[in-house]
Amino acid sequence: MSEPLLMTIADGVELCAVQTDMFKTCKINIMMALPLAGDIAAKAALPYLLRRSCRAYPSVTSLNGRLDTLYGAVLGASVMKKGEAQILNLSLSAIDDRFALDGESVSGEAVRLLLDMLFEPKLEDGTFPQDDIDAEKRLLLERMRAEDDDKRTYARRRCEEVMCADEAYSRNRYGTAQEIESLTGARVYAAWREALETAVIRIVTVSSGTPDAVRGQLSARFGTLERRVAAIETQFIPDAAGEKYERETQPLMQGTLVMGFRCGMHASEDMDPAMTVAADIFGGGTYSKLFTIVREQMSLCYFCAARLNRDKGILLVSSGIETENESKTREAILEQLRAVQNGEFDAEMLETSLRSLRDSVRSYTDSPDVLCAWYANQIFRGTAKTPQQRIAEYDAVTLEQVQAAAQKITPDTVFMLAGTGEEHHA
């Protein structure tokens, strides 16, 4: 696999082309980043609406027919939060050009279809059809309800909301239920224009074909726009200003404890990858302090793991516990953090962590989907770091660097989702 080619298409629009013959399928992803502000619900609905149809293929039947001609291509859409940016994704997976009949460029046709959907959506009277809006409103609300029903996800989100209450990061990537319920075609149309004209955009292609045709199509479309690229900045708060606490009770058999920490970071690359390794030794895998001691030796929780969010400079520790064990578990988690900060880990444990992190990074080359996501997620970095380069960074980390990074971690927020001991089934 060759290193990706980075090409500037227009102001704030970048093509990252990965040319490889490792896969039988190709993948094209259009990633649009906007500030996590304004009409979040309208922007969240946008990629799902764009995926439904376009002017050239206005019905499900006609669009599916076009996908069939591309050897059963599959469209995708999603919304995510990266730092204090809302990321809108529109993607297409198809057979790789090598396996197409008569030398057909499937990747080129796939890009053409995606651009038709992005630039020429189905509109009625200059706005998105209300029937389509209503359908996507229901689906967005179902996604929000599904997250609330997953108590691990719910508790993590509530901890982030309490921890970052005065920061844009506290907002849900879908907006609020009230904002979704009131969506109109005019609001989503305004969000569409905002995305085209102001979003930071990275288009990633993973294919065996050359990027020349793709680049030409992108230049032809984006070159016609007058763009004023939005400034997207994430607020990093290095140190906790005292510990916040919030407790909520629900009819559940077990409780979920989430502890939020500030990581002393001023930017996503600050102390990385040493901070990633420190978080992993603290609570990353079955070899970590939280798993081997808090879960296995002390038997205080059903699960206990730490997850670093480099794009915001925070770390969350989630654990499933008996509600009455809250205080013991909190102290045990803090004790293991202090152990990492005091350097109570050796070269063998460091190597175990590095081995796990290497395997995790290598897994990004397993399919075009995850490889595409790897490069798309570097949208704000102005680079296209390969998985191999990332592994080399891990391999250069020392015990001293890991300890120094861990010493920057300070407790900020505790959110306890307490269970009553009885689970309610709706």
Instruction: Identify the architecture of domain 244-419 in CATH.
Output: 2-Layer Sandwich (3.30)
Q: In what order do the strands lie in the sheet with 25-35?
A: 5-10, 13-19, 200-207, 25-35, 85-95, 74-82
Q: Residue 423 has what pLDDT? A: 62
Question: What is the mean pLDDT of each successive set of 10 residues along the chain, which is 426 residues long?
Answer: 88 95 94 97 97 95 95 96 97 92 85 96 94 96 94 96 96 96 96 97 93 91 93 94 93 94 94 96 96 96 96 97 95 98 96 97 95 93 90 96 97 94 60
C-alpha–C-alpha distance, residues 393 and 381, integer Å: 16
Q: Residue 424 has what pLDDT? A: 56
- Tell me, what amino acid is at 163? M
- Tell me, what amino acid is at 386? T
The ranges assigned to domains in the chain are: 5-222, 244-419
Q: What are phi and psi of 7, to 5 degrees?
A: -135, 130
Contact residues for 87 (Cβ-Cβ < 8 A; gap 6+): 31, 32, 33, 79, 80, 81, 379
Q: Residue 381 has what pLDDT? A: 82
The CATH homologous superfamily for domain 5-222 is: Metalloenzyme, LuxS/M16 peptidase-like (3.30.830.10)
Domains 5-222 and 244-419 share a fold: yes
Contact residues for 161 (Cβ-Cβ < 8 A; gap 6+): 170
Cβ–Cβ < 8 Å for 306, 284:
yes
Cβ–Cβ < 8 Å for 416, 246:
yes
